[in-house]
Amino acid sequence: MGEFELIHNFFAAAPCAQGGEGVVLGIGDDCALLAVPAGEQLAVSTDTLVAGVHFADPCDPFLLGQRSLAVAVSDLAAMGATPVAFTLALTLPTVTAEWLQAYARGLNLMAQRCGVALVGGDTTRGPLSLTLTVFGRVPSAQALIRSGAQPGDLLCVGGELGNAAGALPLVLGQRTAAAAIAEPLLAHYWSPQPQLGLGQALRGKATAALDISDGLLADCGHIALASKVGIQVERDRLPLSNSLVAFLGQSGAEAAALSGGDDYVLAFSLPSVELAQLLAEGWPIHVVGQVVAGQGVVLLDACGQDITPQIRGYQHFRETP
Amino acid sequence: MGEFELIHNFFAAAPCAQGGEGVVLGIGDDCALLAVPAGEQLAVSTDTLVAGVHFADPCDPFLLGQRSLAVAVSDLAAMGATPVAFTLALTLPTVTAEWLQAYARGLNLMAQRCGVALVGGDTTRGPLSLTLTVFGRVPSAQALIRSGAQPGDLLCVGGELGNAAGALPLVLGQRTAAAAIAEPLLAHYWSPQPQLGLGQALRGKATAALDISDGLLADCGHIALASKVGIQVERDRLPLSNSLVAFLGQSGAEAAALSGGDDYVLAFSLPSVELAQLLAEGWPIHVVGQVVAGQGVVLLDACGQDITPQIRGYQHFRETP
């Protein structure tokens, strides 16, 4: 048995590979088999993380295990889907039992948290990279897509913005900070929490949604384009954490919230009549702007002046200064 | 717009991304949405191909486009599934329009042949590798799995064996051959034909099945292990092409058929009562052995003598002499 077959068997025996609702056949055959209940559809998304591009190399394999799955499952949250399963294609330069065990521990922990089962994959030798494909189920015609935003809708986000971008200089070892500041930022970077409950609560309410991976302004641009509307973001309504402001200052924190990547918080358009009930249910929703007729995204200050910076999405780890 | 967003848009506009039966929502949102008819299940498989490991680097991108999809879809054939869709995670060191266009041409051609639509993916910078995840639908409880082979079943394959392994010295430039010999071998290597029709015809008939990717002996070992049976392969019943025998000689051709990789021909166990009707329907089925009580795989000569070589699966391109 080759070492990559051993790895395959190692993952097949992992807790997250022990089935789950909707999994008819898991690891070990040519394909996995998933059951989709009548009246539901299957949501599918694929994400690749490459060492030195999407994460520092070397990095802590336990944290990478958590993060790699969380980032992928976040796309299911953005569709309002309920997670079912995932596949993992793992390419490794060398096989180290210690690395694999730590990676699998992080992966298992996030899989358990998200209610998702490992049903297949591939393990090969090569430069370190990970491709995860995630599967969720969503009632037919209720998935949250990007193209339904209407002028008059509120622009909302599901939590604080910019924390993961704020963590990046800490991850890269470019800066240090006191633990009280560094720890909450690093937690957002390494262990983002896919907003699955919020996504499901928004079904039939939000008119458009996505998860913020490229920064609020760039991602709002995706909604504006798909929905053929304009979007106004109000700088003074951005939800910023105390840690982020303490670390980067007010304007640095705003820049991280607007243009930093890796937040994996939901951004969505919501008719104003839907807001009160969702807030009453306790969802952490922040209104940060509105949808208008027109096109593109503008940033407004407290006086309603256009202060739009050059919008530039997060263009991969290596290119970050 | 970054160059990787341009690539994403390039693939989104490709013919194979223009929907298809079962595709509710294709490229462009956080997830694709697939519909699975009542009474059916979704079959899922993930394959990674790494440059220099699974294919020569550089290689012809058109041929790589064909082969990368065919190899993945072959797992759907092995389950008896009908292809629906696939995702492509493409990691590229540099972006070359010529390379991308040729790769997409090969991909589109194979997608059309297999009836499968590109519904999503990811494009990133890094060492060249491809991860494809394929989706098919199969009637509930009718998928061909590996674990049902019974003593008394015939061991069958769906076509000639060893041609792709025979092509490898040609692909690597280690040997040359006259076109009449080289071309059919190279066609098997670069453009394997997933046996989708045969897989579907075997539903409810074959007791176990898989597609041969690691060589007949190694893959029969997977069936034997999953089904808790023994398998006898008869050397003199191996279907070998004239080209392969002309190129490698009889014993070289037998070795390629038994232990060479990349055939992507189905191997399956079949109760003998099912054979006549399938042959009458014109399926290219060759009986190459039988399932017996016990465990493991043995190779028999014409006298029934055990001549089992040390069984060793194909262990990736780079390790091939």
The DSSP string of A170-210 is: HHTTS----HHHHHHHHHHHHS----HHHHHHTTTT-SEEE
CATH 3.90.650.10 domain locations along chain A: 154-314
- For chain B, say whether A293 makes contact (Cβ under 8 Å): no
Tokens of A6: 């051993």
Instruction: Tell me the shortest Cα–Cα distance from B85 to chain A, in angstroms.
Output: 10
The pLDDT tens digits for B93-112 are 988 889 999 999 999 999 99
Neighbours of B277 (CB within 10 A): 11
pLDDT digits (tens, 9 = 90+) for A288-311: 999 999 999 999 999 999 998 754
Q: Is A36 on the interface with B (CB under 8 A)?
A: yes
Q: Is the peptide bond before A58 cis (omega within 30 degrees of 0)?
A: yes
Neighbouring C-beta atoms of residue B93, cutoff 10 Å? 11
pLDDT at B315: 37
B29 and A226: CB-CB below 8 Å? yes
- Look at residue A143 in the predicted model and tell me its pLDDT: 97
Structure-token pair, residue A94 = 């060398």
Contact A79 B35 (CB under 8 A): no
Give all strands of the β-sheet with B40-50 in edge-to-edge order: A23-25, A32-34, B40-50, B129-139, B82-92, B117-125
Measured between beta carbons, the chain B residues lying within 8 angstroms of A116 are none
pLDDT surpassing 90 at residue A315: no
CA distance B271 to A77: 46
pLDDT of A114 above 80:
yes
Rounded distance between C-alpha atoms, residue A37 and residue A20, angstroms: 14
Pull the structure tokens for residue A66.
């958590």
Q: Where along chain A do the CATH 3.30.1330.10 domains lie?
A: 3-139
Q: Is B26 helix (H, G, I), strand (E, B) or coil?
A: coil
* Highest mean pLDDT out of A26-30, A96-100, A178-182, B119-123: A178-182
Q: Helices A216-227 & A242-259, crossing angle to 10 degrees?
A: 40
Mean predicted lDDT score pLDDT of chain A: 92
Q: Do A34 and B41 touch (CB under 8 A)?
A: yes
Whether omega for the bond prior to residue A271 falls within 30 degrees of 0, making it cis, is no
Q: How far apart are CA B137 and CA A25, in angstroms?
A: 14
Q: Where are the beta strands (DSSP E) in chain A?
A: 23-25, 32-34, 40-50, 82-92, 117-125, 129-139, 154-157, 208-211, 230-234, 266-270, 286-292, 296-300
Q: Which CATH number fits domain A154-314: 3.60.20.10, 3.40.50.720, 4.10.1240.10, 3.90.650.10?
A: 3.90.650.10
- Residue in chain B lying closest to A210 (CA): B30
**Structural tokens at position A50:** 């490459």
**Sheet order of strands, A40-50 included:** A117-125, A82-92, A129-139, A40-50, B32-34, B23-25
Q: How many CA atoms lie within 13 A of B173 on its CB side?
A: 5
> What 8-state DSSP symbol labels residue B306?
B
Q: Is the pLDDT of residue B318 over 70?
A: no
The answer to whether the CB atoms of B31 and A122 lie below 8 A apart is no
Write out the residue limits of the CATH 3.90.650.10 domain(s) in chain B: 154-313
Token pair recorded at residue A197? 């409950």
Task: List, edge to edge, every strand of the sheet that includes A208-211.
Answer: A208-211, A266-270, A154-157, A286-292, A230-234, A296-300
Architecture of the B154-313 domain: Alpha-Beta Complex (3.90)
Taking CB atoms and an 8 Å limit, are B78 and A32 in contact across chains? no
The whole-angstrom separation of Cα B250 and Cα B233 is 17
Orientation of helix B179-190 relative to helix B163-171, angle to 10° = 110
Q: What is the ipTM of this complex?
A: 0.90
Residues in CB range of B48: below 8 A, 6 or more apart: A89, A91, A122, A124, A131, B54, B129, B130, B131
Reported as type and span, the H/E element at residue B66 is helix B61-79
Q: Please, what is the end-to-end C-alpha distance for chain A in angstroms?
A: 45
Predicted TM-score (pTM) of the model is: 0.91
* Tokens linked to B215: 């060589």
C-beta of residue B219 within 8 angstroms of C-beta of residue B146: no
| Cβ pair B46:A120 closer than 8 A | yes
Is residue B314 over pLDDT 50?
Answer: no
* Alpha carbon distance B115, B32 (integer Å): 17
Backbone angles phi, psi at A223, to 5 degrees: -65, -45
A3-139 — its CATH code?
3.30.1330.10
**pLDDT tens digits, A236-256:** 999 999 999 999 999 999 999
Q: Reading across the β-sheet that carries B266-270, which strands appear in turn?
A: B208-211, B266-270, B154-157, B286-292, B230-234, B296-300
d(CA B148, CA B291): 11
Chain B residue numbers with beta carbons less than 8 Å from the beta carbon of A209 are 30
Give the whole-angstrom CA distance, residue A90 versus residue A75. Answer: 20
- Using a CB–CB cutoff of 8 Å, tell me whether A126 touches chain B: yes
- Phi, psi (rounded to 5 degrees) for B13: -90, -5
Least confident of A8-12, A123-127, A299-303, B34-38: A8-12
C-alpha atoms less than 13 angstroms from C-alpha of A257 in its C-beta half-sphere: 28
Instruction: Assess contact for A284 and A23: CB atoms under 8 A.
Output: no
pLDDT band at residue B6, thresholds of 50, 70 and 90? confident
CA atoms of B214 and B212, how far apart (whole Å): 6
The pLDDT assigned to B277 comes to: 94
pLDDT in tens, A145-172: 999 999 999 999 999 999 999 999 999 8
Q: At what angle do helices A163-171 and A179-190 cross, to 10 degrees?
A: 110
Please report which helix (H) or strand (E) contains residue A106, including its range: helix A97-114
Judged by a CB distance cut-off of 8 A, whether residue A295 touches chain B is no
